[in-house]
């Protein structure tokens, strides 16, 4: 564009800037209208789910201790790994001689069938055993990357490279927000630390930053720096916000920078959240029966409390809620004992997960809320001997489960071989899972794109098939 044409453009926008700025501000002040416009522009088919609650078990939970009953593996425990299962395999943290020092490891857990569906669940998850008729287990999940940080990024963004938008950001971008007072994408964390990689797991990447995940704190103010400083009253704050908005609008008219629209939207949303966020985090209105169902305290941070907060967010129109619970890494090193440390982590999540499903169903929210449970990969059928015996990372076959939002209930999708090394039926790669999740939300993964650096990008890149056996 020439300097002359650029000056003409700026002159035009400056002359009509009040009208354009007013229209921009009107859309920002009415997120419901903006969401309706976005949904009508990008929704491709009739959605089965309106929102997502993603329970992310960071570190790679062992499917063989929880949901995969493998009698043959148990019978061969302690024996060498058959060569036929090792062809073309790579395992993290094990050198080429690993088969000479690693043997098959059966599970010590007791598995029983539960519900009308007869689903196998271990004795470590008694609460989940009570809701198996509401969930579908996908036993044949597969990923590409076996180190934690890139594998988490791959599960969230469909790529192990930094800079790609996360699933929650794509959903937020495509469908817009339903709430006028809360973000469309919220992140909750529990455990002693967050997931490896941190905020890159909920980034908006090259999408406008208004679509990124907003972390809510487990204690104290839900969001830092949200409250007005001492001595600043409502009138003063409103004058400040109006002045900042006017400056941003003026700059937006001059430059056309879309990130300025994001900045304006974030200021406006932060002002509205000053009331909504503390109310959301205040559980005083929840009954003792509800707290008992989740097994949580009103004020003490925990995964179960975050599950209850996720239900409250679903009621209030948050489109995508992601809960992270760490410490699922179980190699057998310090703090990674598969019989003690893993048992503790499982106990921390079992009741909250089951209660969330029960609570959503009782309130009529499960039918249009897609609940997802899983980590970045699973665990190997052979042992890994460190200080104690554990299991290594495994990307070729692991289990996730889904509930509500248009998926089958009380079913199993995919099977693995008798030792749990490989998926042998209905393999569900991460790209396939993403394609299916978008499909349930009314989005065609091949048509949900964003132009960046000269080409169209999508969550599933050039891959992904809908996992039709999962659909109700």
Per-residue confidence in pLDDT tens, the chain, 472 aa: 333 334 333 333 333 433 333 333 444 444 443 443 344 346 788 999 999 999 999 999 999 999 999 999 999 999 998 877 777 666 666 555 555 457 899 999 999 999 999 999 999 999 999 999 999 999 999 999 999 999 999 999 999 999 999 999 999 999 998 888 899 999 999 977 778 888 999 999 999 988 999 998 776 666 655 565 666 566 765 676 667 777 777 777 777 777 777 666 665 666 666 667 788 888 999 999 999 999 999 999 999 999 999 999 999 999 999 999 999 998 887 777 788 889 999 999 999 999 999 999 999 999 999 999 999 999 999 988 777 788 999 999 999 999 999 999 999 999 999 999 999 999 999 999 999 999 999 999 999 999 999 999 999 999 999 999 999 9
Closest to 376 measured CA to CA, from 416, 433, 426: 433
| Fold of the domain built from segment(s) 47-223+286-470 | Alkaline Phosphatase, subunit A (3.40.720)
pLDDT at 163: 93
Cα(208)–Cα(458) distance, integer angstroms:
15
Tokens of 263: 């900045």
Alpha helices, H only, 232-302: 234-255, 258-281, 288-294
pLDDT at 323: 98
Residue 309: alpha-carbon gap to chain centroid: 15
Cβ contact 113:102 at 8 Å = no
Cα(19)–Cα(468) distance, integer angstroms:
48
Cα(329)–Cα(381) distance, integer angstroms:
15
pLDDT at 270: 62
pLDDT at 37: 36
User: What is the DSSP-derived secondary structure letter of residue 81?
Assistant: P
Q: 406: left (phi > 0), else alpha (psi -120 to 50), else beta?
A: left
Cα(258)–Cα(227) distance, integer angstroms:
27
User: What is the DSSP-derived secondary structure letter of residue 228?
Assistant: P
Cα(287)–Cα(435) distance, integer angstroms:
38
* Count of C-beta atoms within a 10 Å radius of residue 452: 14
pLDDT at 94: 58
Q: What are the residues facing 471 on neighbouring strands?
A: 407
What's the pTM?
A: 0.85
């Amino acid at each position: 564009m020439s300097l002359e044409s650029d000056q003409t453009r700026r002159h035009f926008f400056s002359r009509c800037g009040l009208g354009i700025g007013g229209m921009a501000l009107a859309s920002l002040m009415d997120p419901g209208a903006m969401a309706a416009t976005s949904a009508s522009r990008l929704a491709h088919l009739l959605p089965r789910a309106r929102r997502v609650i993603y329970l992310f078990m960071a570190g790679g939970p062992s499917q063989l201790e929880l949901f995969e009953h493998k009698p043959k593996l148990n019978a061969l425990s302690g024996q060498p790994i058959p060569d036929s299962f090792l062809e073309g395999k790579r395992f993290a943290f094990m050198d080429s001689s690993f088969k000479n020092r690693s043997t098959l490891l059966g599970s010590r857990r007791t598995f029983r069938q539960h519900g009308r569906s007869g689903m196998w669940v271990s004795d470590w998850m008694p609460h989940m055993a009570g809701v198996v008729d509401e969930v579908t287990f996908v036993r044949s999940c597969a990923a590409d990357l076996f180190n934690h940080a890139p594998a988490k990024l791959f599960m969230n963004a469909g790529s192990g490279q930094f800079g790609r938008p996360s699933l929650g950001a794509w959903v937020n971008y495509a469908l817009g927000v339903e709430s006028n007072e809360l973000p469309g994408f919220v992140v909750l964390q529990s455990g002693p630390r967050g997931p490896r990689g941190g905020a890159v797991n909920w980034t908006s990447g090259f999408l406008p930053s208004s679509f990124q995940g907003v972390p809510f704190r487990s204690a104290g103010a839900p969001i830092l720096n949200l409250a007005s400083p001492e001595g600043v009253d409502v009138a003063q704050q409103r004058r400040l916000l109006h002045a900042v908005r006017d400056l941003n609008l003026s700059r937006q008219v001059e430059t056309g920078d879309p990130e300025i629209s994001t900045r304006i939207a974030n200021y406006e949303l932060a002002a509205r959240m000053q009331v909504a966020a503390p109310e959301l985090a205040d559980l005083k209105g929840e009954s003792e029966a509800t707290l008992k169902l989740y097994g949580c305290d009103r004020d003490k941070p925990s995964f179960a409390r975050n599950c209850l907060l996720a239900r409250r967010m679903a009621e209030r129109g948050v489109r995508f809620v992601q809960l992270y619970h760490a410490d699922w890494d179980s190699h057998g090193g310090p703090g990674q004992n598969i019989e003690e440390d893993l048992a503790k982590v499982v106990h921390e999540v079992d009741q909250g997960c089951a209660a969330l499903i029960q609570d959503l169903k009782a309130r009529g929210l499960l039918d249009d809320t897609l609940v997802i449970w899983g980590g970045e990969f699973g665990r190997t059928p052979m042992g890994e001997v460190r200080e104690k015996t554990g299991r290594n990372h495994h990307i070729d076959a692991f289990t996730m489960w889904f509930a509500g939002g248009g998926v089958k209930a009380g079913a199993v999708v995919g099977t693995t071989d008798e030792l749990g090394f490989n998926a042998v039926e209905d393999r569900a790669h991460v790209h396939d899972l993403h394609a299916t999740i978008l499909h349930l939300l009314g989005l065609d993964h091949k048509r949900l794109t964003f132009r960046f650096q000269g080409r169209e990008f999508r969550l599933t890149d050039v891959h992904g098939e809908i996992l039709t056996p999962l659909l109700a």
